[in-house]
């Protein structure tokens, strides 16, 4: 009998994190002095956000995952005030908290099979840091809020949404073929091929990009196929947006 010797690959998430806070409110009338809704708090929930949300999505599917993030992530908050019944957003309030920059040269990159850089451009990672990480590891996936440039030429794959793609134009030839460009309800695009998704009712798109990125990395760790990984990421993200708030990928989402 042949023993199964497969060893689950290890993943390291690097990036800035925050707390996502959702304040669900009712709104029965407009203020008499200014045309804004008068809201009353119904309930509140919170979860680890940004890179921490990528981590918890990966861990929902994959055991071997660590994270290196800003130590003060609990102080970095994104507070969303939402209508309780419709889930319509009233306003988002972000805490003005500084994030210390990481020393990229001290990162234990060689300990891990895959590096997932979740860069929300809050100061934890500079372009030079991400470029260093990409140059010193062969399997680096990058999801960044920075305009994409030639500094990402050593990345394995780069996941950005359509807004981030257009903001980065013109894109260097050394980078463009590495880009997985997400189009929300229209799926994703990679090297000229469109990866479609089924049409679903979207209740909340918050955190969908994190779920897509996490699923992409997990499936690549298992299969080594970027095409299969994009299809899997599409499936997981389209399930997540059907639930209220920032939720993680669930086992049934992968079926």
Q: Is residue 79 part of a domain?
A: no
Q: Is residue 234 part of a domain?
A: yes
Distance of CA 184 to the CA centre of its chain: 13
Q: Which domain does 203 fall in, by range?
A: 11-18+49-73+98-254
Q: What does the pLDDT profile of the chain (255 residues) look like in tens digits?
A: 444 556 899 999 999 999 999 999 999 899 999 888 899 999 999 999 999 999 999 999 999 999 999 999 999 999 999 999 888 889 999 998 999 999 999 999 999 999 999 999 999 999 999 999 999 999 999 999 999 999 999 999 999 999 999 999 999 888 999 999 999 888 999 999 999 988 887 777 777 899 999 999 999 999 999 999 999 999 999 888 787 766 778 767 676
Q: How many CA atoms lie within 13 A of 168 on its CB side?
A: 24
Q: Is residue 31 part of a domain?
A: no
Q: Is residue 4 part of a domain?
A: no
* Alpha carbon distance 100, 168 (integer Å): 25
Q: Is residue 65 part of a domain?
A: yes
3 Cβ contact list (under 8 Å, min separation 6): none
Number of domains the chain contains: 1
Q: Is residue 159 part of a domain?
A: yes
Q: Is the pTM of this model over 0.85?
A: yes
Q: Which of 80, 101, 91 is nearest to 23 (CA)?
A: 80
């Amino acid at each position: 009998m042949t023993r199964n010797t497969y060893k689950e690959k290890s993943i390291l998430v690097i990036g800035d994190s925050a707390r996502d806070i959702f304040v669900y409110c009712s709104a029965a009338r407009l203020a008499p002095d200014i045309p804004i809704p008068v809201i009353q708090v119904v309930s509140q929930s919170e979860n680890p956000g940004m890179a921490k949300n990528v981590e918890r999505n990966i861990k929902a599917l994959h055991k071997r995952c660590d994270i290196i993030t800003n130590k003060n992530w609990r102080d970095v908050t994104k507070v969303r005030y939402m209508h309780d019944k419709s889930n319509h957003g009233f306003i988002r309030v972000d805490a003005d908290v500084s994030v210390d920059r990481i020393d990229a040269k001290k990162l234990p990159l060689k300990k891990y099979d895959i590096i997932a850089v979740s860069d929300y451009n809050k100061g934890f990672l500079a372009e030079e840091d991400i470029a260093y990480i990409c140059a010193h590891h062969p399997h680096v996936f990058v999801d960044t809020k920075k305009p994409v440039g030639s500094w990402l030429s050593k990345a394995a794959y780069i996941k950005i949404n359509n807004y981030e793609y257009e903001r980065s134009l013109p894109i260097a030839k050394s980078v463009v073929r590495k880009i997985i460009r997400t189009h929300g309800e229209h799926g994703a695009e990679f090297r000229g091929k469109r990866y479609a998704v089924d049409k679903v009712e979207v209740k909340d798109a918050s955190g969908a990009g994190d779920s897509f990125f996490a699923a992409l990395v997990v499936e690549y760790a298992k299969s080594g196929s970027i095409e299969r990984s994009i299809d899997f990421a599409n499936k997981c993200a389209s399930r997540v947006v059907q639930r209220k708030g920032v939720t993680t990928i669930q086992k049934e989402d992968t079926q």
